[in-house]
């Protein structure tokens, strides 16, 4: 049974950084790409990017280039997403989700991590 | 970037109704399209992938069709558990993009 467990809620001040983790269990960690999707309050879903844990290859949405970094640690089956220079517009629930390495859709999702940016 | 446009944004319907949601891509995405269902406070749930393949465990009342730039999600007979927001998403090319969502509400 695939399971993705994310780190807990965060409250950050504008200008700070946040790093969210996503620990995978129940399958081979390196068999999937790890994606990050966010959802601002009352809004739709927005894809931030993905990482291939086999080679640390990444693709980021242009909107987040230079501000986001996705990493992974295969020894503990965990993916990370760091977002820097936070503003109030970054207040959202951040989800990790997986897709098969060979290509395919987002088939498993974490429970989400609420990041609140406030003074 | 490929833009995904869903219609309608909101849909009012009754239990037992047949419901259809449309998703249009700004350029051809083949059949690399997924549909998700989301309820308040919950992560999106995969329903359909590759435009028409039902995710394991999803009731057969859901179906998807289309290819290229136009796609549809159909719920044959609405059940109480189906009132939710639905999103389409293309995975033909990066950056992956979502439609804006369609809220199916009780009439």
Residue pairs between chains A and B whose CB atoms are closer than 8 Å: 58
Q: Which residues of A touch B100 (CB under 8 A)?
A: 44
* A86, two tokens: 């936070």
Identify the H or E element spanning B45: strand B45-49
For residue B37, the model assigns a pLDDT of 98
Q: Give residue for tokens 């995904």.
A: B4
What distance in Å separates the CA atoms of residue B38 and residue B48, rounded to the nearest whole number?
13
Residue B19, both tokens:
């419901």
CB B64 within 8 A of CB A105: no
Q: What is the mean pLDDT of chain A?
A: 97
Summarised one tens digit per residue, pLDDT across range A62-98 is 999 999 999 999 999 999 999 999 999 999 999 999 9
**Which residue in B34, B94, B101 is closest to A106 by CB distance?**
B34
Q: How far is A59 from chain B (nearest CA, A)?
A: 7
Give the residue-averaged pLDDT of B74-90.
Answer: 97
Whether residue A1 has pLDDT greater than 80: no
The chain A residue lying nearest B33, using CA atoms, is: A105
Indicate the SS3 state at residue A30: helix
Which pLDDT tens digit goes with each residue over A35-71?
999 999 999 999 999 999 999 999 999 999 999 999 9
Cβ-Cβ contacts under 8 Å, A110 against chain B: 43
């Amino acid at each position: 049974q695939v399971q993705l467990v994310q780190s807990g809620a965060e409250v950050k001040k504008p200008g700070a950084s946040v790093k969210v983790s996503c620990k995978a269990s129940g399958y081979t960690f390196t068999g999937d790409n790890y994606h990050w999707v966010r959802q601002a309050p009352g809004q739709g879903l927005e894809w931030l990017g993905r990482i291939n844990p086999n080679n640390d290859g990444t693709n980021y949405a242009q909107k987040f280039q230079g501000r986001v970094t996705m990493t992974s640690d295969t020894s503990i089956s965990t993916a990370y997403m760091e977002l820097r220079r936070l503003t109030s517009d970054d207040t959202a629930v951040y989800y990790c989700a997986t897709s098969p390495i060979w290509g395919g859709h987002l088939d498993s999702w974490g429970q989400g991590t609420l990041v609140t940016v406030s003074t | 970037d490929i833009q995904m446009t869903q219609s309608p944004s909101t849909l009012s319907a009754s239990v037992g109704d047949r419901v259809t949601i449309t998703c249009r891509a700004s350029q051809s995405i083949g059949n690399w399209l997924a549909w998700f269902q989301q309820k308040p406070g919950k992560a999106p749930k995969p329903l359909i992938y590759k435009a028409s393949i039902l995710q394991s465990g999803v009731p057969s009342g859901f179906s998807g069709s289309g290819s290229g730039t136009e796609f549809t999600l159909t719920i044959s007979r609405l059940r109480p558990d189906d009132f939710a927001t639905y999103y389409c998403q293309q995975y033909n090319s990066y950056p992956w993009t979502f439609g804006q969502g369609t809220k199916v509400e009780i009439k």
